[in-house]
Structure 1
Amino acid sequence: MIRFESVTKQYPDGTTAVDDLSFEVAEGELVTLVGPSGCGKTTTMMMVNRLIDPTRGRIVVDGADIAGVDPVRLRRRIGYVIQQTGLFPHRTVLDNTATVPFLTGWKKAEARARAAELLDLVGLDPDVYGPRYPDQLSGGQRQRVGVARALAADPPVLLMDEPFGAVDPVVRERLQKEFLRLQATMHKTVLLVTHDIEEAIRLGDRIAVYGAGRIEQYDTPASVLGAPATPYVAEFVGTDRTLKQLSVTGIDRGDLERPPFARLGEPASEAARRLRAEGARWAVVLDEDGELHGWVGAEELAGAGGTVAGHARRMEAWVPFTSTLKAAFSEMLKHDAGWIAVLDGHRFLGVLTPTKLHEALRRTIDSDERGVPRDRARVDSVPTQ
């Protein structure tokens, strides 16, 4: 979808912003450009919509060399989101969102209907927020409007320059999650500039780590963290890159343990007998379809009447199977739990323990460093006494 071919940008004073840049962004891929201030990442992005023209080289977007495309027409086909949102202060939120459809000749009613649809998509009720003006919104709400406006003409390419940088960390993380949800639905081709390696890791399908005017490494977040290509990348990613890898490592079914379980409608006395026989102090409680209902302690069942349902407790510590190891670890810490349930929808798959979480992380690091598939990486654990 986007291809840079030996692209260089040099200014009249001799400053080289980017030097001989070559890389590709696949259709539907979200690529983060990360690096320190002045490294050329924003220049790279601004050359895609010809706010800056390259000195040498070629940029191809959707099969066309953009040097031969009228800049105005090009920009109307590319969404653009910046840190300060750039909303027009004298126009309502609805009309701000409908700006590009207005400019491209949509009828007013159609443009506003599209704007309302997108405001709803980014979590802003158009009936509530549409009539407001930008200064009546919070920083996070203005960022959402900026994203909605960029998507209004349904562009195939989206450029985002520090889009979540002007809000506090809590709102920033919420916006990042919201954008990932949108991207999973829209599959836009996205270039996102950030100076924050955590954000780059969290959002990117691939990461371009910039040095001075060039890309030092272009790879998946897991590979950048697990196998930095240069000492510069290793230093930029940080000495805690092993911990960062938790955020890009998914849960594997092979890492889940199956603890004792009791059925919701099972007699409490029968469940107590089985737990005693297994030497178990507790069990997860499942219904007849294998869906998680909660957990129960062996002591509570001992001598109890009725069914397990009358003694089960709510399960607080759980995550979806699609979660990362970081999310699982966070839930463990939040609930001070020695294990965490993993669900596929409502269906119980098993539990993840700290030991298995550690083994999964070590296996991921080993596979990245050795360049072997993760299912072939071995982890030798030292038995605990």
Structure 2
Amino acid sequence: MIRFEHVTKRYADGTTAVDDLTFEVAKGELVTLVGPSGCGKTTTMKMVNRLIEPTGGRIFLDGEDISTVDPVQLRRRIGYVIQQTGLFPHKTVLDNTATVPHLLGRPRKQARARAAELLDLVGLDPATYGDRYPDQLSGGQRQRVGVARALAADPPVLLMDEPFGAVDPVVREHLQNEFLRLQSTLHKTVLFVTHDIEEAVRLGDRIAVYGAGRIEQFDTPATVLGAPATPYTAQFVGADRDLKRLAVTPVGPGDLEQPPVVRLDDSAARAADRLTADEAPWAVVLDADGAPYGWVTAGALTGALPDGATPGSGTVREHARQMAAWLPLGAPLKQALSTMLQHDAGWIAVRDGDRHLGVLTPAGLHTALRRSSR
């Protein structure tokens, strides 16, 4: 969708902001450009919508050389979100969001209807926020309006220049979550500039790590963190890059162990025989729908019940312990580790929908993390 071919930007004083960039962003891909201030990442982005013209090389958008396209028409095909949102202070939230559709010639009523849809999509009720002005919103709300305005004309490409950098960490994480939710539905082609490696890792399908006007490494977050291509990249991503990999490494089927499984309504005696036959000290307990309920130990199944019933009597339900520590398949290892610590658990059930797939243990988590670095 976006292709750079040997693109350079050199200023009259001899400063080279971008030096011989060649890379491609696939349709529907979110690529984060990360690096320190002054490394050329914002210049790269601004050349896509011709706010800055390259000195050499060519940039293509959906196969079309953008140097042959009228800049104003080009920009109306590209959503653009900046850190300070750039909202018009004299316009309401609804009219700010409707700006581009109106410029494209849509009737005012239609443009405002589209704006209302987008505000709702980014979590702002148009009935509540539509008639407010930007100075009546919080920083996080203004950023949401900025995203909604960029989406209003349904552009295939979004350029986002540190859009969440001006809000506090809690709001920033919430905005990141919301944007990932939107992207999973809309599948826009996105160039996202940030100086924060954790944000780049969390959001990007691929990461371009910038040095001085050059891309030092362009790869998936797991590869950048697990196998830095240059000493510069290794230093930039940090000595704790192995911990950062927890956030980008998903739990896979091959990471799971398969302890014995019993059902809540199985007889305790039969379940105890199963554990004895497998020489297992405990089993996962599933409910009637096959979803994880908890666990039961061999000792609990063969011990006496509180009411004095004979050992092994009753059903598994009367001996099982319930546990809420479970994860969906594909959840990041960071979430798995957090859940283990939160529940003081030695394992976590992993599900595909309501279907039990197996359990993740600390040893399995370690194996998965090692796998991600290969």
In the superposition, the TM-score normalised over structure 2's length comes to 0.92
C-alpha offsets along residues 10-53 of structure 1, whole Å, 9 cap, x if unaligned? 22222111111111111111111010000000000011111111
Q: How does 1:28-39 map to 2 (within 5 A)?
A: 28-39=28-39
- What is the Cα deviation at residue 340 of structure 1? 1.3
- What is the Cα deviation at residue 252 of structure 1? 2.0
- Asked if 1 retains the 8 angstrom alpha-carbon contact of 2:252 and 2:330, the reply is no
Question: 2: distance between equivalents of 1:174 and 1:259?
Answer: 37
Question: 2: distance between equivalents of 1:279 and 1:129?
Answer: 62
In the superposition, the TM-score normalised over structure 1's length comes to 0.89
Could you tell me which amino acid in structure 2 is paired with residue 189 of structure 1? T
Determine which of 345, 353, 357 is the counterpart of 2:361. 353
Could you tell me which amino acid in structure 1 is paired with residue 183 of structure 2? Q
Residue of structure 2 equivalent to 1:317: 325
Q: How does 1:163-182 map to 2 (within 5 A)?
A: 163-182=163-182
Could you tell me which amino acid in structure 2 is paired with residue 335 of structure 1? H
Residue of structure 1 equivalent to 2:310: none
Residue of structure 2 equivalent to 1:125: 125
- Asked if 1 retains the 8 angstrom alpha-carbon contact of 2:3 and 2:24, the reply is yes
Aligned length: 366
Question: 2: distance between equivalents of 1:92 and 1:293?
Answer: 50
Question: 2: distance between equivalents of 1:94 and 1:314?
Answer: 49
Residue of structure 2 equivalent to 1:331: 339
- What is the Cα deviation at residue 310 of structure 1? 4.8
Report SS of the residue matched to 2:208.
strand
Question: 1: distance between equivalents of 2:314 and 2:88?
Answer: 66
Question: 1: distance between equivalents of 2:145 and 2:300?
Answer: 53
Could you tell me which amino acid in structure 2 is paired with residue 186 of structure 1? L
Could you tell me which amino acid in structure 1 is paired with residue 292 of structure 2? L
Q: How does 1:96-175 map to 2 (within 5 A)?
A: 96-175=96-175
- What is the Cα deviation at residue 203 of structure 1? 1.1
Question: 2: distance between equivalents of 1:221 and 1:58?
Answer: 27
Question: 2: distance between equivalents of 1:225 and 1:105?
Answer: 46
Q: What stretches of structure 2 of length at least 5 have no aligned partner?
A: 306-312
Could you tell me which amino acid in structure 1 is paired with residue 355 of structure 2? R
Question: 2: distance between equivalents of 1:337 and 1:137?
Answer: 42
Question: 1: distance between equivalents of 2:95 and 2:219?
Answer: 39
C-alpha offsets along residues 52-94 of structure 1, whole Å, 9 cap, x if unaligned? 1112221111121111211111111100011111222232222
- What is the Cα deviation at residue 291 of structure 1? 1.9
Residue of structure 2 equivalent to 1:21: 21
- Asked if 1 retains the 8 angstrom alpha-carbon contact of 2:86 and 2:146, the reply is yes
- Asked if 1 retains the 8 angstrom alpha-carbon contact of 2:295 and 2:323, the reply is yes
**Percent of counterpart pairs with the same letter?**
76
Aligned-residue CA RMSD (Å) = 1.9
Question: 2: distance between equivalents of 1:312 and 1:129?
Answer: 50
Question: 2: distance between equivalents of 1:278 and 1:248?
Answer: 35
- Asked if 1 retains the 8 angstrom alpha-carbon contact of 2:205 and 2:221, the reply is yes
Say if 1:303 and 1:194 are closer, same or farther in 2 by CA, change over 3 A: same
